[in-house]
């Protein structure tokens, strides 16, 4: 480009910086930023937001704040995207109080939080088990005339389910539908996880049927969660039926789904079936991981099958999984 006499501008540099950021080559991205400054090509808010986002996604909050300081030093004001990115970064690092501090600064500077801002903070509070704070923020949205979207609802519903507030969570499902934002598979997966965790397995099975009747296609997480719940609840036969249905329907199963079913066999002492499934998963191109081996090995040792356990342990070592 330079050889042909075309000088790169802020758009070109921003595009190149973005390219480095999406492949996690952040040092190279910063080198380009410094090169821009040396050439008197002023980076804009978009340029800095790209870098701040990249650092936040990698949990490098110190570097993200350095970019923010550099941005403000050049007389640029952060926009909603900048603040949202920083809040999300702190939430990903489980530093929700710092995220709330950024939220407050944003409001103090006259910036209006958008639906994404609220969704980020609600998610952060829920993951930190601060569900009351999440509810307060959710209620604030209405006062500010900010309409929650399906992400906001599903995030809060997940937090409510995990904190045992199922009744309120179901009320939000009704509210979603009334507001023209029908729940999706991710919304229902939160309920399913809670039902399975609390061994309410008939409710879990009924829920999967309900969402299918509504025309919502369960995803692999739905089925894996149900299989796991059934296995842990001593209903191996039901779990195996769900598992076989998945194979019959042509689903490409993940290592998690296979490992869950193998664990179910091991819990019942059905090691032959576990080994058959271990072989089948490899035949289908799904490579068992360390967890898969550990589940079988531990179960074998507990059942006094030491020779088989040691043999599998040696295989695990040979595969570089230990």
Cα atoms found within 13 Å of the Cα of residue 32, Cβ hemisphere only: 24
The model carries a pTM of 0.86
Report pLDDT for 32. 92
Residues 214, 219, 221, 227: is their CA dihedral positive or negative?
positive
Query: Domain locations in the chain?
Result: 1-76, 78-183, 184-251, 253-322
Which of the listed CATH numbers 1.25.40.10, 3.30.1490.190, 3.40.30.10, 1.10.1740.10 matches domain 184-251? 1.25.40.10
In this structure, what is the dihedral angle of CA atoms 151, 157, 163, 167, given to the nearest 10 degrees? 170
State how far the Cα of 43 lies from the Cα of 68, in Å rounded to an integer: 12
- pLDDT, tens digit, 9 for 90 and up, residues 71-116: 999 889 999 999 999 999 999 999 999 999 999 999 999 999 999 9
68 and 59 Cβ atoms separated by less than 8 Å: no
- pLDDT, tens digit, 9 for 90 and up, residues 171-198: 999 999 999 899 999 999 999 999 999 9
Residue 3: is its pLDDT beyond 80?
Answer: no
Cα atoms found within 13 Å of the Cα of residue 179, Cβ hemisphere only: 14
Any residues with CB less than 8 A from the CB of 9 and at least 6 apart, and which? 41
Do the domains spanning 78-183 and 184-251 agree at the CATH topology level?
yes
User: What is the per-residue DSSP string for 4-40?
Assistant: TTPPP-HHHHHHHHHHHHHTT-HHHHHHHHHHHHHTT
Residue 322: is its pLDDT beyond 90?
Answer: no
User: What is the per-residue DSSP string for 287-322?
Assistant: ---HHHHHHHHHHHHHTT-HHHHHHHHHHHHHTT--
Q: How confident is the model at residue 135 (pLDDT cuts 50, 70, 90)?
A: very high
State how far the Cα of 276 lies from the Cα of 272, in Å rounded to an integer: 6
State how far the Cα of 5 lies from the Cα of 28, in Å rounded to an integer: 23
What length is written for the chain?
322
CATH fold of the domain at 78-183: 1.25.40
CA nearest neighbour of 255 among 210, 222, 211, 224: 224
In this structure, what is the dihedral angle of CA atoms 215, 221, 222, 226, given to the nearest 10 degrees? 160
Residue 6: is its pLDDT beyond 70?
Answer: no
């Amino acid at each position: 480009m330079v050889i042909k006499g075309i000088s790169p501008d802020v758009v070109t540099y921003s595009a190149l910086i973005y390219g480095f950021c999406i492949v996690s080559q952040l040092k190279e991205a910063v080198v380009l930023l410094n090169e821009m400054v040396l050439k008197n090509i002023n980076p804009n808010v978009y340029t800095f937001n790209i870098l701040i986002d990249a650092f936040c996604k990698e949990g490098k909050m110190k570097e993200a704040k350095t970019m923010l300081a550099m941005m403000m030093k050049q007389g640029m004001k952060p926009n909603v995207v900048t603040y949202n990115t920083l809040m999300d970064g702190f939430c990903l690092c489980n530093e929700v109080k710092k995220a709330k501090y950024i939220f407050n600064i944003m409001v103090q500077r006259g910036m209006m939080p958008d639906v994404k801002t609220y969704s980020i903070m609600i998610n952060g509070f829920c993951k930190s088990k601060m569900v009351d704070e999440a509810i307060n923020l959710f209620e604030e949205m209405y006062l500010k005339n900010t309409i929650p979207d399906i992400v906001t609802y599903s995030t809060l519903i997940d937090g409510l389910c995990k904190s045992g507030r199922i009744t309120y969570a179901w009320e939000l499902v009704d509210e979603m539908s009334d507001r023209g934002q029908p729940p999706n598979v991710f919304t229902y997966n939160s309920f399913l996880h809670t039902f399975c965790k609390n061994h309410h397995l008939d409710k879990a099975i009924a829920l999967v049927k309900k969402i299918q009747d509504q025309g919502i296609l369960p995803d692999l997480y739905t089925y894996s969660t149900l299989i796991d719940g059934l296995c842990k609840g001593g209903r191996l036969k039901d779990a195996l039926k769900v598992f076989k249905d998945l194979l019959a329907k042509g689903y490409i199963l993940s290592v998690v789904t296979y490992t869950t079913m193998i664990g179910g066999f091991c819990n019942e002492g059905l090691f032959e079936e576990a080994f058959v499934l271990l072989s089948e998963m490899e035949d289908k191109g799904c490579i068992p991981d360390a967890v898969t081996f550990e589940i079988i090995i531990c179960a074998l040792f507990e059942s006094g099958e030491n020779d088989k356990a040691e043999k599998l342990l040696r295989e695990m070592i040979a595969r570089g999984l230990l």
